[in-house]
Amino acid sequence: MAVWVETERASGLSRRVRSSLAYVLLVISVVPILVGYAWLLIATFSYRTEGLLPKDAEGNVGGWTLANWAFVTDPLIWRVTLNSLLIALAMVVGVGLASSLAGYALSRMNFAGRRGVLSMTLILHAFPSVTLLISIFFVLQAISALPGIGDIFGYNTVGGVALVMVSLDLPLGIWLMKGFFDNISWDMERAALIDGASRFRVWWEIIMPQIRPGLAALAVFTFLTGWSAYLIPATFTIGTKVSNLPVYINYLMSETSPTNWNQIAAVGLFQMIPILVFFFFTQEKLLNIYSGGTKGGV
Amino acid sequence: MRVELRHLSKRWGNVVGVDNISLEVKDGEFVALLGPSGCGKTTTLLMIAGIYKPTSGEILFDGRVVNHIPPKDRNIGMVFQSYALYPHMTVFENIAYPLKLQKVPKEEQRRRVQHVADMMGIGHLLDRKPGQLSGGQQQRVALGRALVKDPKLLLFDEPLSNLDARLRLTMRGEIKRRQMELGITSIYVTHDQVEAMTMADRIAVIKDGKLQAYDTPDELYERPRTLFIAGFIGNPPMNLIKNVEVVVEGERYIARNEAFCLEVPAERGKKVVGQGKVILGIRPEDISLADDGEGVRGEVYVVEPLGRDDLVNVQLPGDTFVHFLADPALRLKPGMPVTLRFNTEKAQFFDPHTERSLLWQ
């Protein structure tokens, strides 16, 4: 009996040691990130920083200021924020809609060239978008020449940027959605067809609700991609009117005058705020997505 | 509704799913499609439902070809093995879905769903989601959904395979009862010959996509036309003994091999005599212990208690084994010598090459 108590205590102790060790390791590994965020926060409210310390003009500790945030009164920042939002929303809607329709067709229907489409999308996904920049430029130029559409989806328009972003993300989206559709039993679809639903209604009323978690995951990822997009907007827009937040930040780094890093930090933080709020309210659902889709009857 | 299949085939490239099946289901009849898994019975059912298009052949409902009519216009109800309920809808919404698609007024929907649900004994579960129900309850919902639109034809795709044994028995009786009450023509796919035997008016036995036999359960049991049917129908399965020769000795017909000499009734024996080596089929229940010690001698090999009976495997001289059903009170044990009496009134004979019955053509 006594021996048993001993071992129990010992194993309890070793378990505690082991779990605290895990915590220590975890804390150490996130320190660099946390310090980065701390610097970002401190920097936005000070004239300048040395390490994590805010300094004023004379080099004394202190010097808190709101000057870095003055940009919020500039109408331009709201313009580029709106552009960022438009691109991100276009991504969510465009990629979501197109890939759930294409994914459904690829998963469920047998048509000529199905295999070809599948392997082509996979190859396209492997293409780094940098290699396509020049050819996309010509495509956008061609679209610009079209009357009507050119003003919305042509070169140097928010629509054009969104269009390019959507198409570059489609291969991933289609494969992802195809995977989700593959997991849904054929019987449910057959039952709905026999119950009297049209193919479209089966897709919309029966199948789409089953893959809601997958669709939500895709929406989150595409929103974040759109929101923080830099390469495509920077390449296919001129000037700040049609640019988005990341490109705007780049404009703040002028080559002729000294860069105000603290202001850049403030804009960066400003760009992060919606994401933080979003994650704060949806973290539980997002975890659900990662831990594995639908469980029967939810 | 009368259903007729005419030379129905389904091929995917070189793979043959269903091969030239023709059969007719009378109005109000309950027909089982029976066969081992992968034999094409579900494919046949899905063609009748309109989910698959036949490669060739015709499907007729009441004499009208329906090959090109989509599933929704065929007025059928179907129950699936996986239940195929819509997990995001409540039980009510599930059963009401076919009515909603027919644009039946809300009030009538409510009334009809309630009626069907009460009939299936799930009237109190209408607000639940399928995930909150047991397997048996889910199957009742699926059946309710199939019945709610008053279909002219009911299709079942192994509906009881996912239920536990006890529930399967209950649901078996219940489905049969509902079908009789409602008089709806039904086609029932199963690999379980007991299910087919107990529920169906007629059974279509399918193997490798081909129709082997289409007859009443009694006929299939008493007069199996092929070796496959003989071995497939009946539980425990029929004993099939190879290398048996039937000869005439005076007035008597004798079936013999190295293990035994059995007298066979003349009307059976004369069809087999002179056919060379044939296969003798005899069901375990037609073999009994001989009390007087005269009969076929052998040694108990394995005893499998089934509860009411013991299924006993007996080794006969040579390498022949036969199963028979014995009273557990006899307490037979492996190694015990036994003498068996074969009821040759029920003996079947098959040609070993064509695998067809020599008695029934």
Q: Is B102 on the interface with A (CB under 8 A)?
A: yes
Q: Is the distance from CB of B76 to CB of A286 less than 8 angstroms?
A: no
* A78-to-A65, A249, A251, A275 alpha-carbon distances in Å: 22, 13, 15, 16
Residue with tokens 């399967």, as numbered in its chain: B168
Query: How confident is the model at residue A290, as a pLDDT?
Result: 57
**Does B145 contact A at CB distance below 8 Å?**
yes
Q: Give the model's confidence band at A298: pLDDT under 50 very low, under 70 low, under 90 confident, else very high.
A: very low
Structural contact between residues A174 and A102, judged by C-beta atoms closer than 8 angstroms: yes
d(CA A29, CA A33): 8
Phi-psi group of B348: left, alpha or beta (phi > 0 → left; psi -120 to 50 → alpha; rest → beta): beta
**Residues 6+ away with beta carbon under 8 Å from A287:** none
pLDDT of residue A68: 83
CB atoms within 10 A of CB A263: 18
User: Smallest Cα–Cα separation from B139: which of B194, B84, B76, B199?
Assistant: B84
Q: What is the CATH number of domain B239-350?
A: 2.40.50.140
pLDDT band at B27 (very low <50, low <70, confident <90, very high): very high
- Whether chain A has a CB inside 8 Å of the CB on B76: the answer is yes
Strand ranges (DSSP E) for B179-230? Answer: 185-190, 202-207, 210-215
Average pLDDT over residues A82-97: 93
pLDDT at A7: 54
B97–chain A nearest CA distance, Å: 7
What does the pLDDT average to over A241-270?
A: 84
If one counts every other C-beta atom within 10 angstroms of the C-beta of residue B58, the result is 14
Q: Do A192 and B97 touch (CB under 8 A)?
A: yes
Q: Which residues of A touch B (CB under 8 A)?
A: 185, 187-188, 190-198, 201, 206, 209-210, 294-298
Distance from CA of B95 to the nearest CA of A (A): 10
Neighbours of A7 (CB within 10 A): 10
Q: Mean pLDDT throughout A173-192?
A: 90
The mean pLDDT value of chain A amounts to 84
Confidence band of A125 (pLDDT split at 50, 70, 90): confident
Q: Output the CA torsion sign for A179, A184, A190, A192.
A: negative
- The 10s digit of each residue's pLDDT in B250-262 is 888 988 888 888 8
Residue A9 has pLDDT above 70, yes or no: no
A-chain residues near B86 (CB < 8 A): 188, 191-192, 206, 209
User: Looking at the partner chain, which of B49, B87, B157 has a beta carbon nearest the beta carbon of A297?
Assistant: B87
Q: Nearest CA of chain A to the CA of B256: how many Å? A: 52
Out of A48-52, A164-168, B100-104, which region has the weakest mean confidence (pLDDT)? Answer: A48-52
pLDDT in tens, B227-247: 999 988 888 899 999 889 888
Domains identified in chain A and CATH numbers: 2-65 (no CATH), 74-290 (1.10.3720.10)
Inform me whether the pLDDT recorded for B90 exceeds 90: yes
Q: Which among A188, A196, A197 is the nearest to B84, CB-wise?
A: A188
> Could you give the angle at which helices A158-182 and A75-108 cross, rounded to 10 degrees?
30
According to DSSP H, which parts of A51-184 are helical?
75-108, 114-126, 133-145, 149-153, 158-182
CA distance B63 to B24: 11
Helix (H) or strand (E) holding B77: strand B76-79
Closest residue to A296, CB basis, from B81, B87, B98: B87
Return the residue matching tokens 């649900």.
Answer: B117
Please name the member of A187, A201, A294 whose beta carbon is closest to the beta carbon of B80: A187
Give the 3-state secondary structure of residue B26: coil
Are A296 and B131 inside 8 Å of each other by CB?
yes
DSSP state of B344: G
Give B113-158 as a DSSP string. Answer: HHHHHHHHT-GGGTTS-GGGS-HHHHHHHHHHHHHTT--SEEEEES
CB B299 within 8 A of CB B315: yes
A206-215 pLDDT, tens digit per residue, is 999 988 888 8
DSSP B309: S
What type of residue is B57? G
- pLDDT on residue A297: 35
What is the sign of the dihedral through the CA atoms of B66, B70, B74 and B78?
A: positive
**Residue among A270, A164, A268 at smallest CA distance from A226:** A164
Of A85 and A8, the structure prediction assigns the larger pLDDT to A85
Residues spanned by CATH 2.40.50.140 within chain B? 239-350
Measured CA to CA, the distance from residue B348 to residue B279 in angstroms comes to 8
The answer to whether the CB atoms of B130 and A298 lie below 8 A apart is no
- Residue B340 β-bridge partners: B289, B296
Q: What is the per-residue pLDDT for B28?
A: 93
φ and ψ at residue B252, rounded to 5 degrees: -100, 145
Query: In the predicted model, what is the mean pLDDT of residues A107-117?
Result: 88
Tell me which amino acid residue B170 is. T
Structure tokens at B354: 């064509």
C-alpha B236/C-alpha B347 separation (Å) is 16
Task: Compute the Cα dihedral for B79, B83, B89, B91 and give only its sign.
Answer: positive
Q: Residues of CATH 3.40.50.300 domain(s) within chain B?
A: 3-225
Q: Does the beta-carbon distance from B72 to A191 stay under 8 Å?
A: no
Question: How far A146 CA lies from chain B's nearest CA (Å)?
Answer: 42
Mutation target to probe the A interface, by most A beta carbons within 10 A, among B55, B83, B86, B150 is B86
Nearest residue of chain B to residue A206 (CA atoms): B86
Q: Is B343 on the interface with A (CB under 8 A)?
A: no
DSSP A128: -
Question: Which of A187, A201, A295 is closest, CB to CB, to B84?
Answer: A187
- Chain B hits for A115, Cβ within 8 Å: none
Q: Which helix (H) or strand (E) holds A33?
A: helix A2-44
User: For residue B26, what are the CA distances in angstroms to A90, B62, B215, B242, B334?
Assistant: 57, 9, 13, 39, 50
Classify B3-225 by CATH class.
alpha beta
Is A196 within 8 Å of B72 when comparing Cβ atoms? Answer: yes
Q: Which residue from B311, B303, B306, B309 is spatially nearest to B328, judged by alpha carbons? A: B309
Buried b (16+ CB within 10 A) or exposed e, A95-125: bbebbbebbbbbbbeeeeeeeeeeeebeeee
CB pairs under 8 A between A and B: 76
Nearest CA in chain A to B149: A195
Query: What is the average pLDDT across A39-54?
Result: 83
**Widest distance between CA atoms in chain A:** 90
The residue assigned the tokens 């009378």 is B26
Identify which has the larger pLDDT, B64 or B294. Answer: B64
Query: Quick check: B168 and B112 in contact, CB under 8 A?
Result: no
Residue with tokens 């020599």: B358
Pair of tokens at residue B295: 């009969």
End-to-end CA distance of chain A: 48
DSSP state of B356: B
Contact A18, A246 (CB under 8 A): no
Contact call for residues B320 and B259 (beta carbons, < 8 A): yes
Q: What is the ipTM of this complex?
A: 0.82
Decide: A182 and A295 in contact? Cβ < 8 Å. no
